[in-house]
Amino acid sequence: MTIRERISEALKDAMKSKDADRLSTLRLITAAIRDREIARRGESGEGELDETEVLSILDRMVKQRQESARAYEEGGRLELAEKERAEIRVIEEFLPKRLTEEEVESAIDAAIAETGATGIRDMGRVMAALKAKYAGRMDFGAAGPKVKARLA
């Protein structure tokens, strides 16, 4: 079952169980995917997103909500921060399990070896290899500096 099918099933279940918070988050996910497909149709004429693109949308949604929750906490709006965290939990249900630090380190080593990277100029190829293989499972913002340190 694809991620989109899982999201669709969860949406139906949330409607049946009248879980308003979960339903609104699932609708946000569906809308984000649909928006990206519409934008893509305008760019290249094809609309359907593959699993990797859906995972990157979900990953981006999680990061946005983490930043919002942090901002709400700093502003003393704890109820809004908790709402953001609840949305994160719903979104993360559809993401694959995150890699541990050790797994990230070994994935970076493997990508460097696979691409034959020797210097900092090869960082783009290494990051592209990581993104192709570990979309939705790795925080690329944190992996970038690690790759850079290894190639320097």
101-151: what fold? Answer: Arc Repressor Mutant, subunit A (1.10.10)
Q: Please enumerate in sequence order all residues whose Cβ is within 8 A of that of 114, keeping only pairs 6 or more positions apart, or say none.
A: 129
Q: Which helix (H) or strand (E) holds 77?
A: none
The residue type at 23: L
Q: Please enumerate in sequence order all residues whose Cβ is within 8 A of that of 20, keeping only pairs 6 or more positions apart, or say none.
A: none
The residue type at 115: T
**Among the four given CATH numbers 2.130.10.10, 1.10.260.40, 1.10.1510.10, 1.10.3470.10, the one describing domain 3-92:** 1.10.1510.10
Q: Please enumerate in sequence order all residues whose Cβ is within 8 A of that of 12, keeping only pairs 6 or more positions apart, or say none.
A: none
Query: Distance between CA atoms of 20 and 6, rounded to whole angstroms?
Result: 18
Can you give the pLDDT at residue 34?
A: 92
As annotated, the residues of the chain forming the CATH 1.10.1510.10 domain(s) are 3-92
- Phi, psi (degrees; rounded to nearest 5) at 95: -95, 145
Q: Please enumerate in sequence order all residues whose Cβ is within 8 A of that of 83, keeping only pairs 6 or more positions apart, or say none.
A: 21
Query: Distance between CA atoms of 69 and 65, rounded to whole angstroms?
Result: 6
Can you give the pLDDT at residue 45?
A: 66
- Phi, psi (degrees; rounded to nearest 5) at 48: -65, 130
User: What is the full per-residue pLDDT of the chain (152 aa) written as tens digits?
Assistant: 888 999 999 999 999 999 999 999 999 999 999 999 888 887 766 768 888 889 889 989 999 999 999 999 999 999 999 999 999 999 999 988 888 889 999 999 999 999 988 889 989 999 999 988 887 788 888 889 999 998 88
As annotated, the residues of the chain forming the CATH 1.10.10.410 domain(s) are 101-151
